[in-house]
Amino acid sequence: MSMISVNNLRKTYRVHVKPEGLKASLKGLFRRRYKEVRAVDGISFEIEPGEMVGFLGPNGAGKTTTLKMLSGLIYPTTGQVHVLGYVPWERHHEYRRQFALLMGQKNQLWWDLPAMESFRLHQEIYGIEDARFRRVQGALTELLDVGKLLHQPVRELSLGERMKMELIAALLHSPKVLFLDEPTIGLDVIAQTNIRQCLREYNRDEQVTIVLTSHYMQDIEALCRRVLVISHGQLIHDGPLSDIIDRFATYKLLSLRFANGDWPEGLDKIGEIIERSRPSVTIRIPRDQVADRTSELLGKYAIQDFSVEDPPIEEVIATMYSTATDRNKHQRHCDGGSECNNTTDSESNMANA
């Protein structure tokens, strides 16, 4: 049985459109105009127990709205969702005791109190036995190395220290499902690494199911084997992160180091030169030409070292978002009644993928 099951989930908002200018604004007092915004537009997926799944998308794609529906904070317009066998927005007491939602930009700890006081409050709210509370709180405190900070007011903690305390608070009642919305936003590299390590070990040891949204691809690459990608409220990818590269990376990066310490002439005919650092050069080459171009270079020049790499995942994801945006614009054009017999290049790329 799936831990999380989502079927044709939609969330639509009716938004007031405020006109520009004084005259139009006065008219708007008597005749208001509205538009429909599809925050989530018919997505479906299933997540198995113990999975750690990345949830990606540009700003405004519908990620946070989806997590809020999965946690029961808001109602959907249509669709079916079951988490742990419960319908989230029915807000059964037993369901609320078995999940946690941590939002990187929202605080759940009392600002002027030490974190330990907030932990004790969570203990009372969830009815955690004292022995179990000490065991879980102690293990998490040791894992995140924050023992010396427990009795310091939260307002005096750094952002990274505060996020560690927020994570402990979210895990104190040992949830079976954990929703994380940008848990490392604004943190330095060390704090991000510590949070990732904690989540990796907790998922491994407790087999908790985790859905993670993040704009830091390092988080996703380090933690998630599977990713869901949403754009304009629609699910455009469900599978391994490596599949995104295979589908949307149209080129590879060929890095060369020449033995004679200088670059030969004519490299711009091989591909687009994107970086020069004597005696090395990096060339962008179409994926289907990599073998031929590499063979040509090795046979023609004295090359000391070379490597072939995929482009940075951030660039590939950006291409994916752009493709989805073009497709969405084309679809809106079709919905407006125009002729749409011809597909755009972006749609063709999506179809071929």
Give the pLDDT score at 328: 67
Determine the residue type at 327.
R
Determine the residue type at 220.
I
Name the β-bridge partners of 34.
16
Residue 347 has pLDDT above 60, yes or no: no
End-to-end CA distance of the chain: 30
Which residues make Cβ contacts (< 8 Å) with residue 105, sequence separation at least 6? 181, 182, 185
How far is 279 from 304, CA to CA, in rounded Å? Answer: 10
As a whole number, mean pLDDT of residues 69-96 equals 95
3-state secondary structure 99-168: EEEEECCCCCCCCCCEHHHHHHHHHHHHCCCHHHHHHHHHHHHHHHCCHHHCCCEHHHCCHHHHHHHHHH
Determine the residue type at 351.
A
% of residues, the chain, pLDDT over 70: 91
Higher pLDDT, 168 or 188: 168
Give the pLDDT score at 304: 85
Cis peptide before 279 (omega within 30 of 0): yes
As a whole number, mean pLDDT of residues 48-55 equals 95
As a whole number, mean pLDDT of residues 227-247 equals 89
Higher pLDDT, 119 or 265: 119
Fold assignment, 250-309: Alpha-Beta Plaits (3.30.70)
Residue 341 has pLDDT above 60, yes or no: no
Of 172-176, 324-328, 341-345, the range with the lowest mean pLDDT is 341-345
The CATH class of 4-10+42-238 is alpha beta
Residue 246 has pLDDT above 70, yes or no: yes
Place 90 in a pLDDT band, splitting at 50, 70 and 90. very high
Higher pLDDT, 20 or 131: 131
Higher pLDDT, 347 or 335: 335
Place 191 in a pLDDT band, splitting at 50, 70 and 90. confident
% of residues, the chain, pLDDT over 90: 46
As a whole number, mean pLDDT of residues 300-318 equals 84
Q: Where are the domains of the chain?
A: 4-10+42-238, 250-309
3-state secondary structure 247-267: HHCCEEEEEEEECCCCCCCCH
b/e burial code for range 22-52 (CB count within 10 A of at least 16 → b): eeeeeeeeeeeeeeeeebbbebebebeeebb
As a whole number, mean pLDDT of residues 95-119 equals 90
Residue with tokens 């105009």: 33
Give the pLDDT score at 180: 94
Residue 337 has pLDDT above 60, yes or no: no
How far is 350 from 327, CA to CA, in rounded Å? Answer: 9
Place 265 in a pLDDT band, splitting at 50, 70 and 90. confident
Residue 5 has pLDDT above 70, yes or no: yes
Please return the burial class of 257, using the count of CB atoms within 10 Å of its CB with bins 0-12, 13-18 and 19+. Answer: middle
Residue 295 has pLDDT above 80, yes or no: yes
- Mean pLDDT of the chain, nearest integer: 86
Place 99 in a pLDDT band, splitting at 50, 70 and 90. very high
Residue 119 has pLDDT above 80, yes or no: yes
In this chain, the answer to whether the domains covering 4-10+42-238 and 250-309 adopt an identical fold is: no
Give the pLDDT score at 352: 40
Give the pLDDT score at 185: 83
Residue 350 has pLDDT above 60, yes or no: no
pLDDT in tens, 202-224: 999 999 999 999 888 889 989 99
Which residues make Cβ contacts (< 8 Å) with residue 73, sequence separation at least 6? 101
Residue 348 has pLDDT above 50, yes or no: no
